[in-house]
Structure 1
Amino acid sequence: MGNSIGVLKDSIQNELLSSIFDLSQDYAEIGIDKLLDNAAFKEMPVVKTIVSLSKGALAIREIVVARKLIVFLQQFHKGLHSQSDVDKMIKNLVSDSGKRDRIIEQIIIMNERYIESKQSVVHANLLLAYLKSRLTWNELSDLLICLDALHPRSMDYLEQLEKQNFVFLPALSSSWVGSLIAVGLTLQKGPHKINELGRKLYYYGVKGDFNAVIPPIEATSMDRLTPSN
């Protein structure tokens, strides 16, 4: 098992550091039953590695995990807008083997757990934000834990909350907001607000806007009416 994980880690590392990655197909939109008939999918090194580790046959679980890993890698490479970006990422990853191993282990573990490929996309964006020094390692790790537990549709609701300066009253809000509260992405004194970590999830992870200025958490009139503990 240990050797198998090592082989998969090496394969993912090679794909992260590759200057060329197939962005021509949206594998998230291809049904599981169609993937094994997709020649380009089967020829991808990560997929070949998973096939070899599965002794030549892919069960549904392996197909799903392979698709999420490919979606993750596609999004990661979409976020590298120039060869200069690629060179910086390679230098960043190659220079610190300990950090590289932690990153790749996160990629394997979390993509195996995610419910939807959309979470793999957000994970890739958050990793890019970390490599671009927009997030600390602890923030990245905390956000990935939240991402794993968060209902994917809650991330769509963040777009609506942005128009409200990320302030909301739970009783008057979408049912999906409960998921944001449950994973600790809100402040719950007075009217609820999406906290700084939640705002970073939205701008860096969901939107993939690495140049975003994270809006500060502003006091409201209702805050001033709420007694402090």
Structure 2
Amino acid sequence: MRKFSLSLLVVLLLFGVANESIAQLQLLRDQVSGNPVMANPNPDVSGTPYWSEFESGKIIFSEKDTVDNLMIAFNAFNHTLVYQVEQELLAYTPGKISGFILQSKSNPQLYRSGYMIPNIGSNRFVEILVDGKYTLVSHKFKRITDDPGAVYGSQRAKAFVSAEDLYVYKDGQPFLWRARKKNLVGFFGEEVYQKINKFSSDYNLDLKAKNDIRRLINFLNQEN
């Protein structure tokens, strides 16, 4: 199946990606089974299952096997990487590819599969925020809930809602980030916890803010 997929992508690179609007796309096909899937299986749910709009990006099959200049988007509801080929949308599930890069001009985002998420498993894509002895990832996902913007009195109004959890990994073990002493000591140990306190005090870090948590993990990796 990979040979087929790569051949298709090479053809895409040779002829360019069609600039048709996403609304005109009719078919979503799983690249593993080849079965067509409805492009919008939740027509009665407001919002979008995609984390962001389709944009130029790269699919990573392995460190030496990548294809770029594709129009891709991350479906955070069913955790698939979706890319556009002319009038079709094609999808990869985690494990079938190593990851992908959303190539925002100001802030490229690297996503990888294979990280074990407690109570969910490793069949997910996560954004790599920091890589090192301590690896920080963002597990982004969408769920369907009651629509908070629905007209009062409407029945069964549903909407896609975004959510995000941060995990720290050390030696493959995950820690769902919780900025409480008990949780931090339990994962990092007392000695590293004292360093966390020092860093957060010296640099005025908010240990509930993603950017500051990212800075903290970078500090810890530089110390070790």
Mark yes or no: TM-score above 0.5: no
TM-score, with length taken from structure 1? 0.29
Which protein has the bigger helix share? 1
Normalised by the length of structure 2, the TM-score is 0.30
Q: Which has the higher contact order (CA 8 A, sep 6+)?
A: 1
